[in-house]
Amino acid sequence: MVERRPDRPAPPTPGTDAIGAVVRLPVTAIEEGRDVSSMSGVLAAAYRLLPA
């Protein structure tokens, strides 16, 4: 087991990376002026891939 140290943040886990990617999708669409409602299928599929 890895010892946690207050001077070093815990490394991101694969789940954290996946959540970040799913959150970034609509943010990018909004920044590009695209309709976010058209992404509902992509977001639903990505959500199912997230670890429990």
Contact 16, 50 (CB under 8 A): no
pLDDT of residue 20: 80
Q: What is the pLDDT of residues 15-27, one digit of tens each?
A: 777 778 778 888 8
First to last CA, the chain: 22
pLDDT of residue 52: 62
Q: By three-state DSSP, how is residue 36 classified?
A: helix
More confident call, 4 vs 23: 23
C-alpha 30/C-alpha 34 separation (Å) is 6
Average the pLDDT over 8-13 and give the result.
74
pLDDT of residue 2: 61
C-alpha 18/C-alpha 1 separation (Å) is 24
User: With pLDDT > 70 as the criterion, what percentage of the chain qualifies?
Assistant: 87
CB neighbours (10 Å) of residue 4? 8
Candidates 5, 8, 14, 34; CA nearest to 43 is 34
